[in-house]
Amino acid sequence: MSLTGRSVTVRVPATSANLGPGFDTLGLALSVYDEVTVTVRQEPGAFVEIQGVGESVVATDASNLVVRALAHTFEAMGQSVPGVDLVAHNVIPHGRGLGSSGAAVVAGIVAAQGLLEGIVDIDTDTLLRLATELEGHPDNVAPALFGGLTIAWVEEAGPQHKKLLVHRGVSPLILVPQHTLSTKVARSLQPASVPHEDAVFNVSRSALLIAALTQSPELLFAGTEDRLHQSYRASAMPETDRLVTLLRSHGHAAVVSGAGPSVLVLADGPGQRLEAAELVARESKSPWESMLLAVDVKGASVHTSLRDA
């Protein structure tokens, strides 16, 4: 079957990983989306057009991360990689701890899944495995693929996930700074070992956070306490550390979003979320963009169409 003329449009949500104590394990899908349209053409290679975030910065050839993820999927499924035209409408901020690279990986893999529909069946386990191979760890790609709150782990059979529904009272607020931070730099500050009591502390808070997010939002403040990674990375993002400290001193469940430097506040209702946003606008010494979001419950979606070859 020729794929020439087949086109898919993929929509992928932003994500926030860690959520405080759930380091490299917990992730949350958020209602900010990148949208990618991929059309198969007769000529080999890739032509990429970027609109929005990353325009004039993101690669527009075969080295583009979405294109590489698509090619990786075709090759893994034993299929020849086609030539493609790709148009990306990017909204997810880059380098801010909101899963932009994970979203690009997921976009490419899900686009390949859509293009290969009727030729090769790619199940959810395979989607997660391919995404993890490219991203390195599953905590961002799992919620981007499946939506909601995800617990991700790796065992001998490969990466696994469990999706949970978030309590309707949970109201996320993302605070985005103007500066970026490399995930590699943030990870380099992580020690090889931590005190036993800190490990036990985070185990208890991670368990509590699951209960808070799914059943008891009033426990979000206690459930987002962390001793495993945020304090070690604070020196690389002092403004983020100051903002988290400010918000938590006023009773708001604030954490570093992913590797940072954005801040995630998990409010237990719209009123508390608005209070947090107003506090930041009033007392922060540096500018932060406030994004009042919902939890995305669907994850990545794909629409397939057939154009004239």
Ordered by start, the domain boundaries in the chain are: 6-164+296-306, 171-292
Pick one of 3.40.50.1000, 1.20.1440.230, 3.40.50.1580, 3.30.230.10 as the CATH number of 6-164+296-306. 3.30.230.10
95 known ligand binder: yes
In order along its 309 residues, the chain shows pLDDT tens digits of 689 999 999 999 999 999 999 999 999 999 999 999 999 999 999 999 999 999 989 999 999 999 999 999 999 999 999 999 999 999 999 999 999 999 999 999 999 999 999 999 999 999 999 999 999 999 999 999 999 999 999 999 999 999 999 999 999 999 999 998 777 777 777 777 888 998 999 999 999 999 999 999 999 999 999 998 888 888 889 999 999 999 999 999 999 999 999 999 999 999 999 999 999 999 998 899 999 999 999 999 999 876 544
> For 175, phi and psi rounded to 5 degrees?
-115, 115
Any binding-site annotation on 99? Answer: yes
Instruction: With H, G, I as helix, E, B as strand and everything else as coil, classify residue 269.
Output: coil
How much is the pLDDT for 184? 74
* 101 annotated as belonging to a binding site for a ligand: yes
Residues 41 and 44: their CA atoms lie apart, in Å, by: 8
227 is annotated as contributing to ligand binding? no
Query: Do 40 and 4 meet the contact criterion of CB atoms below 8 Å apart?
Result: yes
List C-alpha distances in Å: 56 to 49, 60, 288.
9, 9, 24
To the question of whether residue 102 is assigned a binding role by annotation, the answer is yes
CATH for the 171-292 domain, from 3.50.50.60, 3.30.70.890, 3.40.50.10860, 3.80.10.10: 3.30.70.890
Q: Is 54 labelled as part of a ligand binding site? A: no
179 known member of a binding site: no
Is 293 known as a binding-site position?
no
The response to whether 98 counts as a known ligand-binding position is yes
Q: In Å, how far from its chain's centre is CA 223? A: 20
Cβ–Cβ under 8 Å, residues 5 and 305 = no
- Transcribe 148-205 into DSSP letters: SEEEEEEETTEEEEEEEPPPTT-EEEEEE-SS---HHHHHHTS-S---HHHHHHHHHH
* Residue 22 labeled ligand binder: no
> CA-CA distance, 236 to 206, in Å (whole number)?
24
Longest dimension (CA), the chain: 63
96 annotated to a ligand binding site: yes
